[in-house]
C-alpha cells in the first residue's frame, strides 16, 4: 500500500527538480532528480533539494525522494556553486541562499 501512496503523492502533490553539480567539476552534470512538494515556494523547493542531496546520517542517494543520476558508486553532497533546475530556470547555491541565473 505504501508504494501506491507514494505514486499518488508524486502524481498529484510533487514535482521533480534537477540537481546539477558545477562546483569543483570540470563539466556540469546532473547528479539527482529530486521530488519536492509542488505547492511549496521556489525557496522551499531549493532548500529541500539541497537538504535531500546532502549526506547527514546516511548517503544522500538513499533518501526516499531522490533518484540518483551519477555513474559512480558515490557522489559528493551538493555545495555552494552547484545548481538546481526548477521549471526551466536555474538557481545557483550561494554562501547564503540562492541566486537565479
Tens digits of pLDDT across the chain (101 residues): 577 777 777 778 899 999 999 999 899 999 999 999 999 999 999 999 999 999 989 999 999 899 999 988 899 999 999 999 999 999 999 999 999 99
Q: How is residue 55 written as a grid cell?
A: 549526506
Which pTM does this prediction carry? Answer: 0.90
Q: Where are the beta strands (DSSP E) in the chain?
A: 14-21, 29-37, 66-68, 83-86, 89-93, 98-100
Spell out the domain ranges in the chain: 2-100
> What values do phi and psi take at 5, rounded to 5?
-65, -40
Amino acid at each position: 500500500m505504501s508504494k501506491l501512496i507514494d505514486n499518488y503523492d508524486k502524481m498529484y502533490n510533487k514535482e521533480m527538480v534537477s540537481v546539477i553539480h558545477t562546483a569543483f567539476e570540470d563539466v556540469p552534470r546532473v547528479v539527482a532528480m529530486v521530488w519536492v512538494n509542488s505547492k511549496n515556494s521556489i525557496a522551499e523547493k531549493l532548500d529541500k533539494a539541497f537538504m535531500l542531496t546532502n549526506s547527514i546520517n546516511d548517503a544522500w542517494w538513499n533518501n526516499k525522494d531522490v533518484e540518483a543520476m551519477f555513474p559512480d558508486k558515490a557522489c559528493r553532497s551538493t555545495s555552494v556553486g552547484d545548481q538546481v533546475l526548477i521549471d526551466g530556470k536555474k538557481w545557483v547555491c550561494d554562501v547564503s541562499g540562492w541566486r537565479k541565473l
